[in-house]
Structure 1
């Protein structure tokens, strides 16, 4: 049976149970729960500092009405960054390489921001479909273009996350395969290729963190337009 490089992105199952369900539930078992003590340990202190800094960075430009989303978006960022980082470990599966999961996160959250705008300020929400000062002959065309761009937003969210992680994982596997093939024939070239592989792994760690941040940042920008 010939294996494909893309087989690593297939959702694995064991005894008929899809392991993607276990991978999705894993982040909740990794983070420590804050205690009621006056002083927390170093891990809890670092975790609290990171969450506070991220929440402050994301929600500083938003109106106070948008601060109600702080818990949801901060939890989503921690969830995505954990899945992305754990997927870089050997013998693991990255659920965020599945477009179905990413679209399942992007579409409801994007739709929630749109519904919020339509409910709270329908005039301003619909006003985004037509820029101010548009010439009268261009009004129908611009409304169609802005409507299409509005509905493309969740697709862009999901595809961006899926494509970046899939490309990084695939490139790592290709270079790792080249290292194993070149090692018995050309050890020097194999060592240089392994160095490139190490640098690429560091880059993929950064991509895993950045893409989780970008996903939540774009959602916060969509929310900012509708509050």
Structure 2
């Protein structure tokens, strides 16, 4: 029975075609695209205000050359956030619970920031591997440690997003299963647990938004080190 809780994280397949590809395209269909033919409404106003605040907060620490990444970072955050939010709906598959998808987003973007640093300021990029004033005996060990910490960054990005969403979904499913099992015999406890489930759902909504922001924020910090 414990294995059945993890069935929600297996990618659904129909006629031999993984439906994860369809799930990844759905967020772009839900986001309205403002045009000159549309009158400004509350939804578009809220969307533009949110995007403006996010870009301002994200691009503030970066210099002018890093502002070229604003459109990609904003699109990435809205994409991940929409996938996370849709995954909270019943019977909806969450693509961001798949480590392969998260690593597929993290590794190329992290690698592009590293290659950008090697191209523009190679000396400064290599200097991050060895802190200034390091004793001679510790130089080989620190270089190995800093190199490992550099290559583990994309793995940490993908695992952080996957682990947070997977843990939240599992906890929601465990509590909801317990409510359904206890409802006939212990209705009072079931009502209390239902209130806890409601609070947990609100927490998961916050986690879905925060994790998308943290994912892009860490990428911007990696970019800041290499420009």
Question: Smaller-chain TM-score range?
Answer: over 0.9
How far residue 34 of structure 1 moved from its aligned partner, in angstroms, is: 1.1
How far residue 39 of structure 1 moved from its aligned partner, in angstroms, is: 5.0
Aligned to 2:95: 95
Q: Does 1:105 align with 2:105?
A: yes
Supply the distance in 2 between the matched residues of 1:196 and 1:102 (Cα, whole angstroms): 29
Distance 1:113 1:2, change over 3 A: closer
Supply the distance in 2 between the matched residues of 1:40 and 1:169 (Cα, whole angstroms): 36
Aligned to 1:79: 79
How far residue 14 of structure 1 moved from its aligned partner, in angstroms, is: 1.4
Supply the distance in 2 between the matched residues of 1:49 and 1:120 (Cα, whole angstroms): 34
Supply the distance in 2 between the matched residues of 1:51 and 1:132 (Cα, whole angstroms): 39
Query: For each residue in 1:87-134, what CA deviation from the matched residue of structure 2 results, as whole angstroms up to 9, or x when unmatched?
Result: 000110000000000000000000000000000000001110011111
How far residue 42 of structure 1 moved from its aligned partner, in angstroms, is: 1.7
How far residue 38 of structure 1 moved from its aligned partner, in angstroms, is: 8.6
How far residue 37 of structure 1 moved from its aligned partner, in angstroms, is: 5.0
How far residue 51 of structure 1 moved from its aligned partner, in angstroms, is: 0.5
How far residue 2 of structure 1 moved from its aligned partner, in angstroms, is: 8.8
How far residue 18 of structure 1 moved from its aligned partner, in angstroms, is: 1.1
Query: For each residue in 1:165-206, what CA deviation from the matched residue of structure 2 results, as whole angstroms up to 9, or x when unmatched?
Result: 000000000000000000000000010011111110100110
The alignment covers a number of residue pairs equal to 227
Aligned to 1:149: 149
How far residue 43 of structure 1 moved from its aligned partner, in angstroms, is: 1.2
How far residue 36 of structure 1 moved from its aligned partner, in angstroms, is: 1.5
Distance 1:159 1:56, change over 3 A: same
51-60 or 40-49: bigger deviation: 40-49
Aligned to 1:204: 204
How far residue 13 of structure 1 moved from its aligned partner, in angstroms, is: 1.2
Supply the distance in 1 between the matched residues of 2:35 and 2:122 (Cα, whole angstroms): 43
Q: Which runs of 5+ in 1 are unaligned?
A: none
TM-score under structure 1 length normalisation: 0.97
Supply the distance in 2 between the matched residues of 1:217 and 1:68 (Cα, whole angstroms): 15
Supply the distance in 2 between the matched residues of 1:205 and 1:179 (Cα, whole angstroms): 21
Aligned to 2:14: 14
How far residue 31 of structure 1 moved from its aligned partner, in angstroms, is: 0.7
